[in-house]
Structure 1
């Protein structure tokens, strides 16, 4: 099936385009350097030959991405678990909309867990602000990513959002391809996960009919991603202080790279992914006579509730909640040893923060909030 030309700028590469893209990557010195870092001890010529043997994006993912991600899971987590039993129709293609903790691993872990149960990997929505080198942009499109364009004028943003929505509808209905998208632009620094109405408005730009009729073909499945430890927590806390102390502070490209690297190679403890049921039945129950604004607010709340109630809650979440509140409300959910270990962890993360005017009390409060918020939202959802 031929993909409409209007998507050429943003879509993943088609299989017939891969040989040319492989050669462009293989001849790029920056890509060679990245591969020697990611796959130490393997001659680049062997990497190049293996790439050339991959005839499809899925073959490339199985040969490279899955191997790399399972390596990350083995070395930098205490185990990766998945429960998608709520999706009763396994033949459908879904739009997995999830909370967002890690730039690369949220969608990457979902894909390898789907592969592990014999399913197709997802196509991934990724912001072009992260594609800071030409080779990264090519590699993510080989790896079944489509591009979310950022930093546009209002008119350009509307056009770009409408095109992306049409692409997502096309991917689900014509390609039979599941999709992953974050519930908001950027990660929730304080782990207070909330769906942005703008994401749902974008999804509803494609298709035909009213809002509900446009969303139904996307088969939206809320996905909860729970990391026992957020490897980037100390970087997020540092950013909170910088934003507090420096008016108009913005992260640099180097900061984004540091976040990607730390997210990949930092310790994450246990990691659990859990899907809720597809939202279609709930969407059909909505009162469509409401204003569009009210409808989107209701649908966002619906997604949030499903994500929150499917979190995996770890001892650290209970401990952080108690420490932040100065109470022992959840003491039966952890041991004295758990508490000691978590306190040492938080102290160790604060020690990693390199700021000349380090506000330890403020940073500690921010870190505790990051770990307490998932529990607060979980309890509210129940």
Structure 2
């Protein structure tokens, strides 16, 4: 049966040794690893370091012959990366997840790699199996990236197709795979609520993604199909976004010229910065399963938005940005940062926020402010029962 999903599915346990061997013989992968581990020495001594790193990895991974064993082996490195680039990760709502039940996690999307990594981190540390992760093929330009992601339970979403029929066929396959994963394999899925990161801080669920889940089971009603997938709204809140300056720059250029061309290697740079850059505190909230209360994709998208935006953790910086925002909503009763946070916490946030504003060119600042202010507006509109 699994043959039909071979082009997109994650690697199975029996494929792990061969894929690891391929990676450890890939000079581009080893070069990337060398630059990551030894940024200063990689240039002059790369020829020497690459074979040493490959040898060391072969020793460390010699007995790894399943995806679970690989995750156990890399977990300490993930934890180290997470802990080094944050002031702590907290989570809430995990107690609602039951062992043995597969879920469809639908999350807001701010960072290419770290969004699913933090969800994995929370779920792994709660002793539950990690989900399979949807990743766009636009990020898999190098074969080694695709291999790495598929080793870590990622499956591929074909986004770069242009023809309508090809797109339709790809969505049909994706829909069938997600339904098969949850209902037959009993494996959870993580997918972002919309294609592409919410660069302006406005997290919204794209109803097209919800319709896609239904595509492979058209003979059943939308409500029945989506109700059977154990949909969990996930809110990921970063106190600070390492890519906020780049996002402000892109939005500013887009607003003034009407378009934005990515430079070669720009995705790679934002992936690296997203992983290693300072994030302050991070909070992940898992909502209760949304299995009823909707008839169609539009109603469900609105319901998911209420849960995801309502579960978002607002930090002092969000209120500081909101107070500076030209577009803040006078009808909303939003308290000031001073009313909500302790003086020392607020002083630290003020310093960091000012540093970010100072580093941002004046014409791009409104876009930086918007990123941090929008979640405040959205959450207080939900609290007030107002439309988003």
- Is TM more than 0.5 here? yes
1:133 aligns to what?
A: 142
Q: Distance in 2 between matches of 1:329 and 1:124?
A: 37
Alignment of 1:39-118 (within 5 A): 39=37, 43-64=53-74, 66-85=75-94, 87=96, 89-118=98-127
Deviations 1:235-289 (A, max 9, x none): 1001112213434322234111111111111100110101110011xx2x33x4x
Residues 129 and 275 of structure 1: CA distance in aligned 2, closer, same or farther (over 3 Å): same
Following superposition, the deviation at residue 346 of structure 1 comes to 3.8
- 2:148 is aligned with 1:124: no
Deviates more, 1:191-200 or 1:76-85: 76-85
1:309 aligns to what?
A: 310
- 2:153 is aligned with 1:144: yes
Q: Distance in 2 between matches of 1:85 and 1:151?
A: 35
1:36 aligns to what?
A: 34
Q: Distance in 2 between matches of 1:78 and 1:347?
A: 19
Does the aligned pair in 1 maintain the 2:30–2:53 contact within 8 Å? no
2:186 aligns to what?
A: 176
Q: Distance in 1 between matches of 2:116 and 2:267?
A: 17
- 2:270 is aligned with 1:259: yes
Deviates more, 1:85-94 or 1:225-234: 85-94
2:42 aligns to what?
A: none
Following superposition, the deviation at residue 369 of structure 1 comes to 1.1
Following superposition, the deviation at residue 202 of structure 1 comes to 0.8
Q: Distance in 2 between matches of 1:244 and 1:227?
A: 25
Does the aligned pair in 2 maintain the 1:22–1:52 contact within 8 Å? no
Q: Distance in 1 between matches of 2:54 and 2:358?
A: 37
Q: Distance in 2 between matches of 1:43 and 1:151?
A: 34
> For structure 2, which runs of at least 5 residues remain unmatched after alignment?
39-48, 384-388
Does the aligned pair in 2 maintain the 1:320–1:368 contact within 8 Å? yes
Q: Distance in 2 between matches of 1:39 and 1:140?
A: 19
Structure 2 residue matching 1:82: 3-state secondary structure: strand
TM-score by length of 1: 0.89
1:217 aligns to what?
A: 228
2:195 aligns to what?
A: 185
Does the aligned pair in 1 maintain the 2:233–2:287 contact within 8 Å? yes
Does the aligned pair in 1 maintain the 2:89–2:283 contact within 8 Å? yes
Q: Distance in 1 between matches of 2:171 and 2:262?
A: 24
Q: Distance in 2 between matches of 1:48 and 1:82?
A: 35
Q: Distance in 2 between matches of 1:352 and 1:105?
A: 24
Structure 2 residue matching 1:224: 3-state secondary structure: strand
> For structure 1, which runs of at least 5 residues remain unmatched after alignment?
289-294
2:173 aligns to what?
A: 163
Residues 338 and 89 of structure 1: CA distance in aligned 2, closer, same or farther (over 3 Å): closer
Q: Distance in 1 between matches of 2:115 and 2:123?
A: 13
Deviates more, 1:84-93 or 1:94-103: 84-93
Q: Distance in 2 between matches of 1:334 and 1:115?
A: 31
Q: Distance in 1 between matches of 2:97 and 2:62?
A: 38
Following superposition, the deviation at residue 349 of structure 1 comes to 3.0
Deviations 1:73-121 (A, max 9, x none): 2211000111234625443110100001111011011112211111111
Q: Distance in 1 between matches of 2:177 and 2:341?
A: 46
- 2:8 is aligned with 1:17: no
Residues 86 and 117 of structure 1: CA distance in aligned 2, closer, same or farther (over 3 Å): closer
Deviations 1:318-338 (A, max 9, x none): 111112258994131246665
Q: Distance in 2 between matches of 1:256 and 1:245?
A: 22
Q: Distance in 2 between matches of 1:19 and 1:278?
A: 37
Q: Distance in 2 between matches of 1:253 and 1:219?
A: 39
1:332 aligns to what?
A: 339
Q: Distance in 1 between matches of 2:299 and 2:56?
A: 52
Deviates more, 1:111-120 or 1:122-131: 111-120
